[in-house]
Structure 1
């Protein structure tokens, strides 16, 4: 018999007591606070009177999770009975082992619902680590979802919100174990497995407890490796490889004056790692200053905000080298963020050099982000020659190795030559295995043939390659291809694509062709572009970098025609996005670049507006390295790439995001297969190609057909789903169909995709999907009355079957076609519409209303699509007003208030507070009923949005 959840819980508690935790029984909220009083007193070597502890409880319950995490790392102020101000330390974060440790289980807390928490680790009486267990065999994501229910039901409401102090969650089913920070905005994909220093996973709960839950280690993870993300006001915890890298740098500084570098693959969070490393190194007594060095193009608004919150004024965001010199000489500024360009100027120009000579022998630690770019010019030599007591540390996802080193005046120099020793590695194969980045799907589109049909080898001597590559007919055909498949690749424009080309002259041809077709009404894609206007020849090596860090934008050789073109394109950008950018000088150019970066980056946030969407960013070299945006999933390539430039460019697409982003799409219009294979071999192990790249389309189609056989063995047709007799049969159907969903999500991103290859047509698949969604709704309905159902232990992956293009407007087009159809075809078309209403996630809540419109309000046969839209809009507005009126009467809230609140929510994405909704009531409810009334009002408002607003356009 599989191990039960209770057995797993008992074994873990026994193990933790063996690790030095005190076993404590805390059955309820009263016992929780009694224990907190004793433990805080012990930690602070004092006792509290009843009234003093009441004041402490009041101070502790202030703020949200982020506010309480801040308080945990500070001291809480309260008044003693004599009226004196006292300060209470909640946790010793400097000597992190010097705290009081307890383990409790089944703490019962009642909020919106009654919940019992499996295992709680208390530090000084505060619940700082919450562990949720599931029996072996249960999907681990179910534990994640249960914690999300606690967030909603009890964490913020019950026990003075004391569980808002939780810093880390641990979820386990015995065989698999993960941890994550207390951050409600993250998804299950952002939970982490602990590992050894050589990146071997620690999955088994008993091994995880020994390694991670050991008292000193878990305290250190909370005190030193949980980051308070100031911009988004959330908690983040480092992954194991980030932890080992930061520890290695700190140890290197303590024990030697040698340099070192970290090889962590692109997309693995190097900036966060380097940020934490800088913070920890700065705490060492022997270190005078830490200087964090980035390329000018990477010092964007996000980096600036983060580091400025770390230490106010630490970011030298100006273009003035004098400011950098001033900050370097300021004894009160121990941490500074600057660019490699200004640092180079500071030690190159005599007037600045004289000023900073006093720092020559100071212990300064330089940390270089993306050191494969910034450290191979003369700047490195100047830094090491001037700062004689400096230590240099580099972070890179693609180091310069012997194979991809290029020769300069100093010969071939590798990252190892410059930084002495590699301190930690986390390669792309590790990241893909750990689900920290996605794999790539690489498709090669386009071949070159002579008029007689013979294929042309464009590498042959004597071929005018540039003439061929920039031929206008070729450009048109590639644009044809992009327009045909862009929606498929980007999930109906949910994601942004980057299109990188070989030269500015080729970029201009592509942009002009895309613009011509836009003005002709052939597409509605929002295309943006940016490039430096220097004379830019074909890039044979194409390492992916636009210019050396040793040169300034103002010093570039200008090409007047290119600059004029860019000015025109910026005007298009301004018209599209209601901005007022120009590229008249270096500062204006940089402002424009930052706006593009911000616009694409912020698509990953919930508050992102559709009006800010960039569909294709057309570049030569910019944005191909150091630019991280989760909402980029496609790279179109018409340039030669190799080695680190290729991996860097590809890696713009493989950041983990939502469930439907299963991989990064690479569409190459050149034969980059040999270069791709070579680069993958270079930056991972020799057998990594199959791990990093998706298999061919045919392999996935075969996998789909095999999975379909499994489904049909359970339920041959959609109708047979209704014949399933028990939960176990339902469970098997859900798992079988979910496997098809996952495979279809990958298959539909291929240009070769066809339902003819799959053994099932789209209609039958939609019928199965409808049954799957019906089961999902049934399980959700029964979850409250039958919480031990095995169906609660399986994830319904609804997000993967959402297709945003199937919205109300799409249905209206089908209705217009239905109205114009011949009488004998009307029933078939009506059936298709019904199937879509059943099978599409966004339309299920609207199904009854749309069907009523079809039955009772459809315009006369032969009506145009415009007439259909007008009739539907009138019907829809009338139904919405009826619902608002019903809510208004039932709850005593003016209908105009509901309209205003909904409009504000649709504009800024901010959910209104329940207190605000209650304040707008015509009669205020009693204190006891306020919470229930507020919950009802909010649910009613969000219900109106779901039915009448979402998926309508």
Structure 2
């Protein structure tokens, strides 16, 4: 990998030495302690290192201590003194307003960090809580073991205070403890005490977790899809070498200038109120761009390719965030007159527009038409202009002598792929006399994959930074690909293997669009869809319970899209409504004429009027079907087609569309983390292949382990060639998943040398060591069982993606599996309970064990299944106790139904099962019983806790959502009047919250 980067790199990278990302980090092992380090030792050593780096250590143990120190620091930063009354008013009016939650605190740090405060004598002054213009004016302190508010009395390990505000919190575990432990502890703190009424910890922007050996950081965010361990980051140098040891991390990340710049420059608080912290490679790229602009300006090298460069960051690594931040920061350079952020017309979606309008309300107007773009350019207060390359080219043609061409302009291309290498790009470069041009790409065009055209370096200048697919897979930022090469019908094999362009064009209609082939491939997709997309498994996303993922189907031409769409409609006609896939398609003008038979994914035109009539008529029918699914009203007329594109994009991202058939659209630059499978009946090569495959490999959760690629053409050589072009000879092993045989029988990992047990070995070991898991007594046996069963869950989750696994003969029976799941959950609950109560594990340390709960949740047993089981067993025999034993086994094997155990047992005890004749009877009987129980439990809670009138509605709403909203003020509003002295109100709130949560767990879904 490194050789390729050197070939296409330049020596200029070495010239930049003043960034916060080190050019090349070297570890200093001479001063390291070699003796055993406890958690306390790690904490003391870290604080000593921070003090030696210029932090002040301050002993604060309580919330009151933090507030006292905060006042001193804010006074020092602003060179003033508050009276006691003024300080109280400053807190209530602004800094610590009673209605503030975490989002409001984050907004104060990221956006509203200066407040106009009126003092008692009437004079007005700007009060800063952080100085972003001169970061060295900010004062850094470190404290430890602060006692949290709330009933749990948590003690927080190490906290970094910036001007008295806790902006970074570090949670430490001793070496050897699983890092997930620290991650889970922070989330427990977030629920229990960080967000309590008078907690300054709502201001925390960054969390750091470490066990000494491994260290990671992540943003404090409420966004559920960003709130799992997969979204934590490692710190690294500019060559993407990871800095993971805590001492190294402290020396680099916590260098005062570095942590202050990360907080003040390299965070983005987006339109969804989600805090994003840039990763080291994103910061490195941004720094390189800003350095290149400055150095080119000083050397008067503007107006030529050498004044800029390109960033090679792999697809899925967050290029848009990096380019967005680079564009924003470039506007702060006083010699720059205008920054143009140039996007593909298809990428100018709701999200990009909203982000830029939030930053500068008029900046996106330039995307509407050339007239608006001209206005936007001529407004002096518009430092940034967001537009498309097509609109900018039109502007250049219509305004050949505009004054903007003589001004200092930065041009940042969000995605510099082949579509931006044409005449439009040349026209723009020719017009602007003092430009600095930068491009971002996940798949650069090198001489060997240029197919005779220009290269990325030829158009954009030198490569400034790289973060390639092997880096991203190693860091867990994108997933590997599992590629199947399928030959559905042997008689079409020769056509599917053909790679001669002229022959292939002739074979398309005769062989590859043959009705028999289209029918067989459609049938195959319908047969494997549930398995490939995990459709019968469940996970949580953005407070929604989703079943499985969705898929895309890339086809060669518009004709192919039409044939496949019609065939899916035909084959699904006989299926029940709830079993049918929601299939959509989109294509545009002349995609079949413009599309080369091999390789290139062409830019598609958004103007449907340019389509030939039959393609347009068919698209009208497709959009009518879509309108029927979603109660929308789109068409191919005027802007409606673009609105259809945008809505379809959102529906795919939201997993409301099961399968999307595409020709070229959506195969580049489209992000949908819920998409895990790409079916391919299209000849892809090089950058086009990697771009298309990369639609599937965005990280989401533990259930999504890789991107599934199912090829109906022989793309094996094309896949290997593409991987070698954007990696090296060994990259195939890094980028592609192992085979079915390797997962079943075991393999040796070539990267780590570690031997990975196969599924068969894991199953046999479990059955032989723990034939009856319910009889496990010793803690050591419980730990061994939990480790083995966790391996089984991970192995099974991967194997479910392979067609062959469907016919695998079970080693563990269904009943054994239920018992094992039940015991696994029991062990986890016991471990969590002993940790919560501060008990030791009697010599057996469970802290290095990670429970695979997300994977256990995928096989959730629903309530209807349990009720059907009760009915079935009651017909077999009338022994209620044995029915209860059988049903209990099923309930306890599923996390989602465990809380309902008592409710279901009470139902069995109070119901004459023999009188229930069919499923409808038992469902009606149970839901009537459960609703009465729910009403009673809510009424009892309201009476016992003396809650206010609106509490019934709040509890019902929480049950319907499936969780209790702790962050807002709704919970506060239903509490009875309670003194705030000695934390009494906070304790009351915690107690009520616990009781409501228990009711929600029991009655959610009923």
Common topology (TM > 0.5): yes
Shift of 1:486: 1.4
From the superposition, tell whether residues 723 and 563 of structure 1 become closer, same or farther in structure 2 (CA, over 3 Å).
same
- Give 1:608's aligned residue: none
- Give 2:14's aligned residue: none
- 1:514 aligned onto 2:568: yes
- Give 2:430's aligned residue: 385
- Give 2:15's aligned residue: none
- Give 1:737's aligned residue: 789
- Give 1:100's aligned residue: 139
- 1:126 aligned onto 2:175: no
Q: Is the 8 A contact 1:714 1:732 kept in 2?
A: no
- 1:235 aligned onto 2:275: yes
- Give 1:567's aligned residue: 620
Shift of 1:907: 6.7
1:899 and 1:24 map into 2 onto residues whose CA distance is: 45
- Give 2:667's aligned residue: 624
Shift of 1:324: 0.7
- Give 1:9's aligned residue: 43
Q: Is the 8 A contact 1:898 1:941 kept in 2?
A: no
- 1:504 aligned onto 2:558: yes
- Give 1:700's aligned residue: 743
- Give 1:748's aligned residue: 800
- Give 2:650's aligned residue: 598
Q: Deviations over 1:131-187 (max 9, x none)?
A: 1111000011111111112222222226x3322222222111110011112224321
Q: Is the 8 A contact 1:40 1:124 kept in 2?
A: yes
From the superposition, tell whether residues 38 and 138 of structure 1 become closer, same or farther in structure 2 (CA, over 3 Å).
same
Q: Deviations over 1:26-46 (max 9, x none)?
A: 233333233223322322223
Q: Is the 8 A contact 2:745 2:761 kept in 1?
A: no
Shift of 1:459: 6.3
Q: Secondary structure at the match of 1:636?
A: strand
- Give 2:631's aligned residue: 578
Shift of 1:884: 3.4
2:954 and 2:573 map into 1 onto residues whose CA distance is: 37
Aligned-residue Cα RMSD (Å) equals 3.2
Q: Is the 8 A contact 2:316 2:698 kept in 1?
A: yes
Q: Secondary structure at the match of 1:213?
A: coil
Q: Is the 8 A contact 1:708 1:740 kept in 2?
A: no
From the superposition, tell whether residues 535 and 155 of structure 1 become closer, same or farther in structure 2 (CA, over 3 Å).
closer
Q: Is the 8 A contact 1:129 1:169 kept in 2?
A: yes
Q: Is the 8 A contact 2:950 2:974 kept in 1?
A: no
- Give 2:236's aligned residue: 195
From the superposition, tell whether residues 785 and 575 of structure 1 become closer, same or farther in structure 2 (CA, over 3 Å).
same
- Give 2:752's aligned residue: none
- Give 2:823's aligned residue: 771
- Give 1:607's aligned residue: none
Q: Is the 8 A contact 2:344 2:388 kept in 1?
A: yes
Could you tell me which of 374, 386, 405 is aligned with 1:360? Answer: 405
1:95 and 1:69 map into 2 onto residues whose CA distance is: 20
TM (norm. structure 2) is: 0.86
- Give 1:610's aligned residue: none
Could you tell me which of 530, 553, 577 is aligned with 2:607? Answer: 553
Q: Secondary structure at the match of 1:360?
A: helix
Q: Is the 8 A contact 2:496 2:712 kept in 1?
A: no
2:830 and 2:614 map into 1 onto residues whose CA distance is: 64
2:394 and 2:524 map into 1 onto residues whose CA distance is: 46
Q: Deviations over 1:704-726 (max 9, x none)?
A: 86466568668845565455454
Q: Secondary structure at the match of 1:753?
A: helix
1:151 and 1:760 map into 2 onto residues whose CA distance is: 39
2:552 and 2:290 map into 1 onto residues whose CA distance is: 37
From the superposition, tell whether residues 15 and 920 of structure 1 become closer, same or farther in structure 2 (CA, over 3 Å).
closer
From the superposition, tell whether residues 908 and 864 of structure 1 become closer, same or farther in structure 2 (CA, over 3 Å).
closer
From the superposition, tell whether residues 378 and 47 of structure 1 become closer, same or farther in structure 2 (CA, over 3 Å).
same
Q: Is the 8 A contact 1:803 1:840 kept in 2?
A: no
- Give 2:1002's aligned residue: 947
- Give 1:308's aligned residue: 357
Q: Secondary structure at the match of 1:92?
A: coil
Q: Secondary structure at the match of 1:266?
A: coil
From the superposition, tell whether residues 115 and 845 of structure 1 become closer, same or farther in structure 2 (CA, over 3 Å).
closer
Q: Which runs of 5 or more structure 2 residues have no equivalent in the other structure?
A: 1-34, 297-301, 536-546, 747-755
Q: Deviations over 1:560-607 (max 9, x none)?
A: 12211111121111111111111123x11000010011122245xxxx
Shift of 1:15: 1.3
- 1:66 aligned onto 2:115: no
2:510 and 2:130 map into 1 onto residues whose CA distance is: 68
2:264 and 2:634 map into 1 onto residues whose CA distance is: 44
- Give 2:199's aligned residue: 161
2:517 and 2:138 map into 1 onto residues whose CA distance is: 69
Shift of 1:856: 5.6
1:732 and 1:151 map into 2 onto residues whose CA distance is: 31
2:70 and 2:172 map into 1 onto residues whose CA distance is: 24
1:17 and 1:847 map into 2 onto residues whose CA distance is: 53
Q: Secondary structure at the match of 2:412?
A: strand
Could you tell me which of 103, 115, 119 is aligned with 1:80? Answer: 119
Could you tell me which of 247, 255, 266 is aligned with 2:287? Answer: 247
Correspondences of 1:165-314 after superposition (within 5 Å): 165-185=203-223, 186-229=227-270, 231-256=271-296, 257=302, 258-314=307-363
1:878 and 1:717 map into 2 onto residues whose CA distance is: 46
2:771 and 2:940 map into 1 onto residues whose CA distance is: 37
Shift of 1:694: 0.7
Q: Is the 8 A contact 2:533 2:677 kept in 1?
A: yes
Q: Which runs of 5 or more structure 1 residues have no equivalent in the other structure?
A: 604-612
Correspondences of 1:799-838 after superposition (within 5 Å): 799-803=854-858, 806-814=861-869, 834-838=888-892
Stretch of structure 1 that moved more, 560-569 or 844-853: 844-853
Q: Is the 8 A contact 2:744 2:760 kept in 1?
A: no
- Give 1:414's aligned residue: 455
Q: What is the count of residue pairs matched by the alignment?
A: 925
Q: Is the 8 A contact 2:588 2:606 kept in 1?
A: no
- Give 2:56's aligned residue: 22
- Give 1:141's aligned residue: 180
Q: Is the 8 A contact 1:432 1:691 kept in 2?
A: yes
Shift of 1:783: 2.7
2:230 and 2:164 map into 1 onto residues whose CA distance is: 31
From the superposition, tell whether residues 662 and 250 of structure 1 become closer, same or farther in structure 2 (CA, over 3 Å).
same
Q: Which has the higher contact order (CA 8 A, sep 6+)?
A: 2
- Give 1:55's aligned residue: 89
Q: Is the 8 A contact 2:42 2:174 kept in 1?
A: yes
2:727 and 2:642 map into 1 onto residues whose CA distance is: 35
Correspondences of 1:33-44 after superposition (within 5 Å): 33-44=67-78
1:853 and 1:15 map into 2 onto residues whose CA distance is: 61
2:722 and 2:671 map into 1 onto residues whose CA distance is: 20
From the superposition, tell whether residues 435 and 111 of structure 1 become closer, same or farther in structure 2 (CA, over 3 Å).
same
Shift of 1:228: 1.5
Correspondences of 1:439-518 after superposition (within 5 Å): 439-450=480-491, 464-492=507-535, 493-518=547-572
Q: Deviations over 1:884-937 (max 9, x none)?
A: 34434434569996357535873798837775356457x756666654454455
From the superposition, tell whether residues 272 and 905 of structure 1 become closer, same or farther in structure 2 (CA, over 3 Å).
farther
1:519 and 1:827 map into 2 onto residues whose CA distance is: 46
Stretch of structure 1 that moved more, 787-796 or 278-287: 787-796
Shift of 1:747: 0.8
Q: Deviations over 1:292-315 (max 9, x none)?
A: 011111111111111111111211
Shift of 1:234: 2.3
- Give 2:130's aligned residue: 91
